[in-house]
Structure 1
Amino acid sequence: MEHGNYRFVWKAIKYHRKQGGEILNTPSFIIGLEDKSTKEVFPHPISHFLFKNYHRNSGSVNTELTVAQIIVPFLNFVLDKVDQKLTEYTEVEGLKDLRESHANAYLQYCVDEKANKNKTLEMKENFLSKFYKYLWDEKILKHKPKFKLVSVRSRKEIRKVYKIDFTYKKTDETLLREKIKRKDIVPQNHESNDNRIFIRLQYIREILFVAKHETPDIALGVALQIFGGLRKGEVVNLTRTALKSQNGQEYGVEGLVLLIRDRQNDLFTRFNDVSTMQVKNPRDQSCLIDPILNYLYKHHIEVVLKKVKKPLHPNALFYDSEGNAMSADTYDKRFLKLKNSYLGMLLGTPGRYQDYLDFSQTKWRSHIGRGIFTNMCLDAGFNEKQTAVLRGDRSTESMEAYFDIITATFNIRKALTLLSPDQSENIADLNMPTNRKMWKEVQEFGKGLRNEF
């Protein structure tokens, strides 16, 4: 095993492959050795593990990246121990000398030093087990690991996999004090409220109002995540012609369908690593309708896009400050600014300190929009299967999915009544600072749109 002046790294690449009569520029990941002095990276043969087990099977470059981000730190952990000349590592000269004890030691390190939760540790166990099985099947290891055959459930099927019987001591999660991941915008003190769906709308409109003023370049994107359940990669892959207003009305007033497609080869050719800009499931996505979505759509087309100087992709929907199609990383940074602005607004508004604590002491990023969408669908009466279809989740039951799309699309009409600003009277007793100028503007924001279109 190489060490000293080298360390293992993962690296995004693109390679050309022929599919039918077309040459595709295909993203992938490799594992390499980086010279610490020159930063030059040399591809390592162990990259074949990613290609054989994940690149051809998963259909998602994100899976390759996840595996690489687990295997590379493990290999570097072993390298460090070799360099320290520790007893259990003196015989390690290459991958052939790896033993189960090295994986156990690494996982114990992940518990003691990284405070990994047991769910994360289980994922690492699975990938490390598969890595060791690959090394044994390829006749690389000198010592056979002790595998056990276990049953795992993957979607609707149960399959048998080989797993190492790890002996390290797992995390005592009662000792962890980690922020809870937020999956909805409704604060904790309103979660059991009968009028939760209307309360949620007030917070949605509030954060989108802040987005319009503080981060106007992504305000529409955040709205599409909330009302369409989009992932950030699906947002940045949108083009202007991908938004289809229904019933001959502009700006989605009578319905909005999004043509979710992977447009990396058109918009993101400047990147090798496109793992965060993938579209997992191309589809036609119906949006729930709320006047603030219509307003932000109109504002984006008529104001935001006209301020973009020398756009390099004339049909892109979102741009960075250089005129390039906005990347997912840039979108993340803009959302972080929105989040901080929203927290600042809550902290600076009398009567909103409890909201500030609720939002500042939980973890949330742009993916919260997908969680909000899911909760709106469930609260509006969609069943779990219909909600899964509306979210764009893959379904193995194609005929059932077809009928669910019809039913769910029909039920969107029913949901529109629930999302109407006329329902604000149902939350008259909601304890919010209606005397604040900004909050009054938010309250009136959606109501005025009915006369605008």
Structure 2
Amino acid sequence: MIAELMQFKKKIRYRFRADSIWIDWDRNNKKQLVIICVSDAINNMDIVHPITDFIYTNWRYNSYNTQRKHAINVVAFLNYLLEKNQDTEFKSLTDLKIIHGDIYLNELSKRGNTRTSINGVDRTLNTLYRYLYKNECLPNVSPNAFETYQNQFGEEVHISLFRNVILPSTASSPLEHTFPSRYIPLLFETAIIVAKPIVLGLYFQIFGGLRVGEVVNITRLGVRYRLDGEVVLLNIRERQLRTDIKDSDGANFVKQERKQQVFIYKEWFESI
């Protein structure tokens, strides 16, 4: 039984965390998958937790990022329950009630999470509760709590279990994501001195908008100059060149295969 493997202790000796593995998906390709582990702080040991099956049951064929998003939502929820276990008699997931989800989602609202973020966690937790109920692990949740309706396209839509959540307003303060251009020369000068092998990849990130996982999958044959010398054209493909990178943040794979232009600033580009 899944519930029997989910006992929580009074002292926070264990923490849940999301990790990743690479497997042989078919004859010619590997695939990165998310796993949920329990970390033992005393023995410094990680054990794959059976709740990982929840991710594969629902998102086995989805992208790694989709799996990771839901795994992180589950991990954060379970760690919150572990922390609150200091003050409650919550011992296993068989003790889980709808109110626990309500409390956690309201806690996210108090922390300042956006409405969109909280709704995403809500969807993950609703799917989790349905999974646990299907596996006979939620004796404290009535089957009548799981309500659905059909939308205009005839699709079945699940109604959220969590009806007592106060969501923040839709308005949000703007975030600054722009790296000040005046610091770019200093950044490259520092990188050349401290970590020269990464400078070209750093250039591709800043002037081509590439992600880390795309940079580490570029080969020499994937780089082409345009005749006017103003642009480099990169062939961004998933080549699985860095499956050795132990990562759960998507830093070792290509999210979208494409041709990508990188603008050339000759004085800088030629120097690196």
TM-score (norm 2): 0.78
Match of 2:103 among 105, 114, 127: 105
- Which whole-Å CA distance do the structure 1 matches of 2:52 and 2:201 have between them? 36
From the CA coordinates, give the structure whose radius of gyration is larger. Answer: 1
Q: Is the 8 A contact 1:31 1:43 kept in 2?
A: yes
- Which whole-Å CA distance do the structure 1 matches of 2:255 and 2:25 have between them? 21
Per-residue CA distance 1:48-97 (angstroms, 9 max, x = gap)? 0111222x2222x2222222221112122223334423xxxx4x443233
Over 3 Å counting, the alpha-carbon distance change for 1:214 and 1:80 in structure 2 is closer
Q: Unpaired segments of 5 or more residues in structure 2?
A: 1-5
Is 1:50 the counterpart of 2:58? The answer is no
- Which whole-Å CA distance do the structure 1 matches of 2:224 and 2:57 have between them? 40
Superposed, which structure 2 residues align to 1:14-413 within 5 Å? 14-20=21-27, 22=28, 24-54=29-59, 56-59=60-63, 61-85=64-88, 90=89, 92-112=90-110, 114-142=111-139, 143-144=141-142, 146-149=145-148, 160-162=156-158, 163-171=160-168, 180-182=174-176, 204=181, 206-216=182-192, 217=196, 220-247=200-227, 253-264=229-240, 266-271=241-246, 273=248, 275-287=250-262, 289=263, 291-292=264-265, 294-300=266-272
Q: Is the 8 A contact 2:233 2:261 kept in 1?
A: yes
Q: Is the 8 A contact 2:18 2:35 kept in 1?
A: yes
Over 3 Å counting, the alpha-carbon distance change for 1:212 and 1:32 in structure 2 is closer
Q: Unpaired segments of 5 or more residues in structure 1?
A: 186-202, 301-453
Matched AA of 1:27: Q
Query: 2:14 aligns to what?
Result: 7
- Which whole-Å CA distance do the structure 2 matches of 1:78 and 1:212 have between them? 45
Q: Is the 8 A contact 1:10 1:29 kept in 2?
A: no
Q: Is the 8 A contact 1:34 1:41 kept in 2?
A: yes
Range with greater deviation from structure 2 (158-167 or 233-242) = 158-167
Matched AA of 1:261: R
Matched AA of 2:44: K
How many residues are paired up? 257
Over 3 Å counting, the alpha-carbon distance change for 1:182 and 1:159 in structure 2 is farther
Q: Percent identity?
A: 24
Per-residue CA distance 1:247-270 (angstroms, 9 max, x = gap)? 3x7xxx154210112243x33525
Over 3 Å counting, the alpha-carbon distance change for 1:233 and 1:158 in structure 2 is farther
Query: 1:336 aligns to what?
Result: none
- Which whole-Å CA distance do the structure 2 matches of 1:117 and 1:277 have between them? 28
- What's the CA shift for 1:30? 1.7
Q: Is the 8 A contact 2:21 2:35 kept in 1?
A: no
Q: Is the 8 A contact 2:73 2:124 kept in 1?
A: yes
Aligned partner of residue 215 in structure 1, secondary structure = helix
Q: Is the 8 A contact 2:242 2:252 kept in 1?
A: no
Aligned partner of residue 267 in structure 1, secondary structure = coil
Per-residue CA distance 1:145-181 (angstroms, 9 max, x = gap)? 62444789xxxx996531324312223677x8x6x32
- Which whole-Å CA distance do the structure 2 matches of 1:15 and 1:128 have between them? 26
Q: What is the RMSD computed on CA atoms of the aligned residues?
A: 3.2
Structure in which a larger fraction of residues adopt helix: 1
Over 3 Å counting, the alpha-carbon distance change for 1:129 and 1:286 in structure 2 is same
Structure 1 segments, 4+ long, off by >6 Å, are: none
Q: Is the 8 A contact 1:136 1:144 kept in 2?
A: no
